[in-house]
Structure 1
Amino acid sequence: MADVHARLAELGIEIPPVVPPVAAYVPAVQTGSHVYVSGQLPMVNGALAATGLVGAEVTAEQAKDLARRCGINILAAVEALVGLSRVVRVVKIVGFVASAPGFTGQPGVINGASELFGEVFGKAGQHARSAVGVPALPLNAPVEIEAIVEVS
């Protein structure tokens, strides 16, 4: 795979420090050739970028941008644990969208992260995924995304 750090620079994406856990877990764990990344919230500089339900206080387009931020925080967790240069492929992501009653656009929201991984890793960023609507998320976050990444 081409140098992922050069690709990130091309895209103008800075990898932030890993987001500290908000409870009793670690940001990511490696077992064998896989890294399991805990659910990442759209944190920027230690604070949520937005709060509320998608389809009410948060628009679907805003939520898509927040999902991208979750994806960047996933990259930060992988970088901190093993280094992004070891990524072979993004295997799966699971996205949770705090949804107002009647909101059914969860797949479009989670595209924010899916598209990011495609931009960064190309074909190796294509993954299986689930996009799930939920009534609430930790800290009143609109979006949370977890990932499984294969590494060398």
Structure 2
Amino acid sequence: MSAATPEERLAELGLTLPEVATPLAAYVPALRTGDYVYTSGQLPVVDGKLAVTGKVGAEVSAEDAKELARICALNALAAVKSVVGDLSKVVRIVKVVGFVASAPDFTGQPVVVNGASELLGEVLGDAGRHARSAVGVAVLPLDAPVELDLVAEVR
């Protein structure tokens, strides 16, 4: 891993952090307490709109959902940066929880959430390695296929 900053690694990947998504209800996108930042659930919003809707394993393929999980992780990083100012302050991603709106017979939630986990590793290197849960659910806000939240330790 090069000594590049997380922002430089994002650029190398051809990615830019989006604007922080406007909350859908009464909450903030991210909150710092002590050395930790907790993000609210991040949907696969691109340019202010939900990229895709539907259930994974029905209207949405697992491969497409994995890409949507990457978008959720990118949005989560934007939320973290909004409260710490610079992703170089991230010491470690501690925990990721991925929710996958799943067709009744879909059991590939871990593969879907790998999209987020892989992006965090690409951007943050070893600091992007984390504990994780990948949970299948009946429905998510706005009929999103994937939602993700994370906890980051920061300096």
Give 1:124's aligned residue. Answer: 127
Alignment partners' CA distance in 1, 2:59 and 2:5: 39
Give 2:19's aligned residue. Answer: 17
Normalising by structure 1, report the TM-score: 0.98
Give 1:99's aligned residue. Answer: 102
Percent identity, aligned pairs only, is: 66
Normalising by structure 2, report the TM-score: 0.96
The amino acid across from 1:12 in the alignment is G
Alignment partners' CA distance in 1, 2:50 and 2:124: 26
Give 2:153's aligned residue. Answer: 150
Give 1:109's aligned residue. Answer: 112
The CA deviation at 1:44 is 0.4
Secondary structure at 1:89 match in 2: strand
Unaligned runs of 5+ in 1: none
Unaligned runs of 5+ in 2: none
Residue 76 of structure 1: which of 68, 75, 78 is its match?
Answer: 78
The amino acid across from 1:121 in the alignment is L
Alignment partners' CA distance in 2, 1:109 and 1:53: 12
The CA deviation at 1:11 is 1.3
Query: Is 1:31 aligned with 2:41?
Result: no
Number of positions where the alignment pairs a residue of Structure 1 with one of Structure 2: 152
The amino acid across from 2:127 in the alignment is A
Runs of 4 or more off by more than 2 Å in structure 1? none
Which has the higher mean CA deviation after the structures are superposed, 36-45 or 6-15?
A: 6-15
Alignment partners' CA distance in 1, 2:121 and 2:5: 14
C-alpha root-mean-square deviation of aligned residues, in Å? 0.9
Give 1:135's aligned residue. Answer: 138
